[in-house]
Amino acid sequence: MQASRAGAVIILAMVLVYLVCRLFAAHIRLFSRAYQRDKDRLIRRRIADSLEESAPIHLDIGHSSEGSLAGGAVLSAAEATETVSAQMAFADEPWVITGSGGLTAALEKDAVRTGMDAADYGSSFDTDCVVYSGGAVMAHTAGNAAALETQPSALHLSMGGFGPASALTDTICRKDEALVVSGDDLLSQAVGTLSADAVFIGEQFTEIPDSLNRTEKKNPALLAMDILRWMLIAVTVVFAVMGLRGL
């Protein structure tokens, strides 16, 4: 009974913190991590380079199974796709989007259409803008290489769970092409740390769509997670001190 009561208190605290962040996000003096970090600047700089140099941007989306379609990385990738599609609707070389699942490819294609409609370039929408490259590591890498057709890209942005595929992606990239890995797959993060120019770890991938916007905005959910994290650390320290003093 006490455990149930403690769980209810924790849930209530989380809800209250989120509501406060939701209502007062514009007034809370916490800076959004998105838009400020060097790796966020790297992505935006490469998008600008793409427009200037007529070099494509490659978005690669992976997940372990079709059942993970609603995963955070896949949905964040869809939001990022919509944002950048609107920004690059008039570009000579638009997105090159590859996915490891058929349903994911359909979701990204819809995001491209929405972004181009927002920029009034919906009539230029290409139905072949998303390529299904398979889930197996070697097949996925081969599909990416075929989709890129050895054309230099300004940025390779991998979102989702890939396993060691990011290391193979690095081998088909030129040295001046940036590779960014993001997602909640531990193996992808570990491999990306060695092979990528930047790695977004854990929930950081949810901040990428915010980073791609022209103006900084604060995500109430992320602010709430930060506050709850510091609260948890504070409670842990208090109980540790009480334990040391025998209280």
SS (H, E, C) 65-127: CHHHCCCHHHHHHHHHHHHHHHHCCCCCCCEEEEECCHHHHHHHHHHHHHHHHHCCCHHHCCC
> CB–CB of 111/78 below 8 Å?
yes
- Give the three-class secondary structure for 222: helix
Residue of 158, 135, 12 whose CA lies nearest to 66: 135
Give me the pLDDT at residue 94, please.
Answer: 73
User: Does the domain spanning 41-216 belong to CATH 2.60.40?
Assistant: no
Beta strand spans in 173-212 (E): 178-183, 198-201
- The phi and psi torsions of 42 (rounded to 5 degrees) equal -60, -45
pLDDT digits (tens, 9 = 90+) for 96-131: 888 777 777 788 888 888 888 888 888 888 877 888
DSSP for 9-72 reads HHHHHHHHHHHHHHHHTTTS----STTTSHHHHHHHHHHHHHHHHT--EEEEEE-S-GGGTT-H
pTM: 0.71
β-strand 95-99 against 130-132: which pairing, if any?
A: parallel
Domain with CATH 3.40.50 in the chain: 41-216
Q: How far is CA 194 from the centre of its chain?
A: 19
C-alpha span between 160 and 69 (Å, rounded): 10
What residue has token string 């650390």? Answer: 233
Residue 243: its H or E element: helix 220-244
- CA-based max dimension of the chain: 71
- Give the three-class secondary structure for 155: strand
pLDDT per residue of the chain (247 residues) written in tens, 0 to 9: 455 666 677 777 777 877 777 777 666 555 555 556 788 888 888 888 888 888 888 888 876 555 555 567 777 888 888 888 888 887 777 788 887 777 777 888 888 888 888 888 888 888 778 887 777 777 777 778 877 776 788 888 888 776 677 767 777 777 788 888 887 777 777 777 878 888 888 777 777 887 777 555 566 666 777 777 778 778 788 877 777 776 6
Tallying the residues shown for the chain, one arrives at 247
C-alpha span between 222 and 214 (Å, rounded): 19
Tokens found for residue 69: 């379609």
